[in-house]
Amino acid sequence: MIVPCIDLMGGKVVQLVQGREKALEGDAPLAMLEKFRAFPEIQVIDLDAAIGSGDNATIVSSLASRAKCRIGGGVRTAERARALIDQGAQRVIVGTAAFTSAIEQIAATIGPDRIMIALDSKNGKIAVKGWREQIDLTAEQAIAKLEPYCRGFLCTYVDKEGMMQGTDLDWFRRLRAATGHEITAAGGITTMEEIRELSAMRIDVALGMAIYTGRLDLKTLSEL
């Protein structure tokens, strides 16, 4: 499955390089949602909430009510997770909080089937708090411990995020071997060949920069 991404910052749809430098802006959020209408699920990330600089709550709520969305960014409490589900989120993406005791309460509140855990890898270690900090744990080490709290993992290879240079397929192979849960790959995926290889591994693909720049064609992707 191909999952187009809508990343929000300052009320706008953006694409960042490695979570820091803004590379481009997309159309208005609802216009982007319409462009992605042919896809079964859309990924929405509130980048401001992720780094603690505010939020895009009104936009997030509007998107969640109009399409099947998985939503993340700043989901650090059970109350926040429940609010997103109540707004219409299909699933909630939990990043930083997955590495604290809060994940137990979040899972108890909305159920593991409604949770995706974000495993963001930077220089081989898990990155948290909007990729601004790291913890001394690899994705491979974390994945088995976190399985009870989710249905799937959003695995981002931050080292290549937004750079249009390809991704690390070997890393995704190791993660696929480590869990039977759903995996969605993100971070640097640029070519149809990479998408085919990931699909052969039974891994879904979240796409941002490659579709915003036109490197990959939306119509072709929607027919996969």
Q: One of 46, 48, 120, 159 is an active-site residue; which one? A: 120
**Distance (Å, whole) CA 224 – CA 20:** 31
Cα–Cα distance measured from residue 32 to residue 69, given in angstroms and rounded to the nearest whole number:
13
The tokens for 26 are 């997309």
Catalytic annotation present for 48: no
Catalytic residue among 7, 46, 159, 204: 7
Quick check: is 120 catalytic? yes
What DSSP character marks residue 110? H
CB 16 within 8 A of CB 47: yes
**Torsion, Cα of 163, 165, 168, 172 (10° steps):** 70
Amino acid identity for residue 101 in this structure:
S
CA dihedral 94, 100, 104, 105 (to 10 degrees): -80
Q: Residue 95 contacts by C-beta under 8 Å, 6 or more apart in sequence?
A: 50, 72, 75, 117, 118, 120, 128
User: Which of the residues are catalytic?
Assistant: 7, 120
